[in-house]
Every structure is written in structure tokens, then in C-alpha cells.
Structure 1
Amino acid sequence: MSRNSLVLIALLLAGCDKMTVGNRTERSGEPRVASANVTEQNVSEAPEGEGSPMAWRVVNGAAFYGAADQPPVFALRCERGSQSIVFERAGGGTAMNLSAEGGSASLGTRDAGNGRVQARTSMNDGVLDAMARPQSQVIVSGGAEALTVPGGVAIRRVVDFCRTPPEPHLPAPDATSAPANVAAPAPAPSVTPPPG
């Protein structure tokens, strides 16, 4: 076989489908064709059977855990007047058991209406700090089913809000009295109508 024939065969073989594996190139035979599945489903909507994702929302000393378009499954709020935290969850039961990162509490409940119960604990309860630790998982039980909710930042914000005394309200400055070190404005000249 001539040298030109060998070059021609090498060029033809070089045009075949190749697949790189690691640092080597191997011949793969038949070319692979991948096709995308075309669907009529709107990808901006949640899949059937799945709602909005669960997340924390914190507003003015209260935190709510649940889907954005539903009532929260678990909530807590600060009551500064009584130096306590009020918990609320969906469901019933006569006790609300909270446990997180080695801390736990079993609290009596009261009916809050609409299929919800509330429980209260003092600001000194160690379970609050356990629930507020980063990466903690809070288990809320005592009702028909136990809930597992993420602890951490949202709970820490409510606890810190409740433990920090509110800013004292200063009276608004009186607009009619001038500060002591500022001269009073000169009286306005009187305007008398011209005679006649």
C-alpha cells in the first residue's frame, strides 16, 4: 500500500465519531442522539400535589413558618409585657412539646380557634436558645402529627427582639418653644393699611 493510501485511510478514520474518555480518545461506533422531552406543562407552576415551599417570615417580633399562600403551620411571637414567647401551631392537643439541639420543653396549650393551639414559655426557657442555634432542627409534637421545622435565624430574631428592651419614647419637641441656645425669631413687622 502506498504512503498516499495510508494517509487517505487515516484521514477517513479521523472523521469517524470519537468519544473522549479521560485523556484518551476512543471510537464509539454509532453516534448518540439526545432529544429533549417536550411538554405542555407550564414550568412556572408548582408540580401537581406540591404547593409553595415552606419558609420563615419575620415581622415585628413574630416569626411564621409555612407556605406563602397558606396559614403558617408554626409561629412564635414576643409578648414583652409578660416577658414571654407565645407559640402557635396548626392542630390540637393538650400539650406542645418542643425539642431542639438538646433542649426541650413540654408546655400546656389553649385552643386558639380555627384548628390551632397556643402555648407560652418565659424568656428564660433554655429551649429558646436551643431552637435559635444555627442549623438546629425543631421538633414540635403533642398534636395529631409532629412537625419538624428549621430553627436558627428567624427564631433568634424573635428571641433577641423580646430580650432587648424597647427604645424609650422621647416626647416630640414642642414647635412653639425654641431651644434655650437659639435666639427667638424677630417679630414680624406690623402692616397698617394706608390712610384713606
Structure 2
Amino acid sequence: MPEKIMGFLEVGMYYIYLNVLWFIGVLTGLVFFGLIPSSLTVQMILADEDFYNRHQSLKAMTKQFVRLYKMNVKKYWKLSALYSVVIGFMVLNLNIVFKVEELNLLIYITVIYSVFTFVHVLFLLPVLQLTSGAVRDKIKLAIGAPFLNLKVTFFNLLLIFTVSVLVIFYPVGVVLIYPVGLLELTRRLNMFGLEEKRLIKFTE
């Protein structure tokens, strides 16, 4: 039992360290150019079976992150800039509409658009990671995927809601684990959803 507890704590330490690397990656890319590459790099590391091996070297994890991050920045910096602007515009709109005292059609449209954007991005990351082809085709697939597997989309929404509540009551978790935890859970969930509906054929 003590060995299992130590193993759990060790993996937890890896998550916290990877969360720090995620923040560094986002900030290194000035947010706009680093958001997608850093998030994608985290998912690629989490997909590696060696991540959950005990006694993993943090130095080796750092080198792996830097190598994959550089590769993803070269491939997706334009895409990251585009989605960062979209997400920034979405957050700005939410701040504006929630200051309105009366509910109206604009608020409903903004909330629906914002929720769909978050879910779309969470579907897009594993599609970018595990499929080949043109980026525009991957974007199209990630746009349609939430509608083609509503069960998985519902669980994505549940995870987003849960993390949002945790951020409100335990904001320190943002620094420790929330981003990486959300990326890992949605990675596994959306991979399952994409495979279940045979929407894509994963590359090795």
C-alpha cells in the first residue's frame, strides 16, 4: 500500500511539473503563438506510456517538452494565433454580455458560441496529434465531431463545467494541475469518441 501511495504521489508530481512546463510554453509563445503548441505538446507527452513510469527523470521530460514544443510551434504557430484571437474575442464577449442585467438573445448566442469553441478546440488537439493530412481538413473534422458524438460532447461540457467550478473555489489548482488534468481527460475522452464513430483513422 505505501508503494502504491508513493507511486500516486510521484505521478502527481509529474502532472504538476508538466503543468508548469505548459505555462512556460504558452508564455514563451506570447500566448498567441504558444497556446496550441504548448497544449499539443502536453497531450503528446501524456500519450507516451513512459510518462507513467516511476522514477522518470524531470530533466528528460523537460528535454522532451522542448523538442516537441519547437516542432509544434513550427507547424502550428499560425493556427495558434488564429485560435488565440478567437478565444480572446470569446472571453471579451462573455465579460461584456454577463454585465447585462437582463437575459437576451445575444447572451444565449454568446454562451453557445463560447461553449462550442472550447469543445471544438479540445477535439482539435488529438486530431492534430494523431492524424495526417491538411490542417484545414483537420479543422473541418474537429468542427463536425462534437455534433457527431453527442455523448462525448456532453462529457466534455461536464469536464469544462467541473474545472470552471474548481477554478472559482480553488484557484490555486490552475497553477498546479487544472490545465494538464483537463487536457489529459479530454484527450482520452475525445480519442474514444473519434474512434467510436470511426471518424478518423489514427496514424501510428
Per the TM superposition, whether the score is higher than 0.5 is no
Specify the TM-score bucket, using the shorter chain as the normaliser: under 0.3
TM-score, normalised by the number of residues in structure 1:
0.24
Larger RCO (CA within 8 A; separation ≥ 6)? 2
Higher helix proportion:
2
TM-score, normalised by the number of residues in structure 2:
0.23
Higher strand proportion:
1
Task: Give the number of the structure whose alpha-carbon radius of gyration is greater.
Answer: 1
